[in-house]
Amino acid sequence: VQLVESGGGLVQAGGSLRLSCVASGFTFDADHIGWFRQVPGKEREGVSCISPRNGRQYYNPSVKGRFTISSDNAKSTVYLQMNNLKPEDSAVYYCAPTWCGSAGGSGSFYYTPPDYWGQGTQVTVAS
């Protein structure tokens, strides 16, 4: 399994970035692909998740309405369009195959702990 994230960088608050995750070594549309992020000293958290098979999307409430996840199955690539970025979005972003489901009333989603990770891409949002 190989996951290659790209697209991170330094951006001003309110700006946008689009992250890409190119996946290989597994059946791309078998389950879900998720985006996760981590800052030093904190646990990695789920940001968004998509089923490449049916397009169903899941979002962390903190990014809902600002981030959009999508997939290009022909390219085995998942994207994360991030708009109206905030300093608290600063983190290393990772993609990983996983399985996601709705967490009901919380508006968030749950996921199975991924077994594979890419190297991550750094997103820094300056205030």
Strands 2-6 and 45-50: unpaired
**pLDDT at residue 105, rounded to an integer:** 78
pLDDT-derived band of residue 120, with 50, 70 and 90 as boundaries?
Answer: very high
> Which of 26, 19, 53, 31 has its CA nearest to residue 100?
31
Query: Could you tell me how many residues make up the chain?
Result: 127
How would residue 15 be classed by pLDDT, with cut points 50, 70 and 90? very high
What is the distance between the alpha carbons of residues 47 and 93, in angstroms, rounded to a whole number? Answer: 9
Which among 49, 53, 57, 54 is positioned nearest to 33, based on CA atoms?
Answer: 49
The pLDDT of residue 1: 94
Q: Is the pLDDT of residue 107 over 90?
A: no
pLDDT for 119:
96
**E strands, the chain, where?**
2-6, 9-12, 17-24, 32-38, 45-50, 57-59, 67-72, 77-82, 91-98, 100-102, 109-111, 121-126
Dist. CA 81–CA 43, nearest whole Å: 22
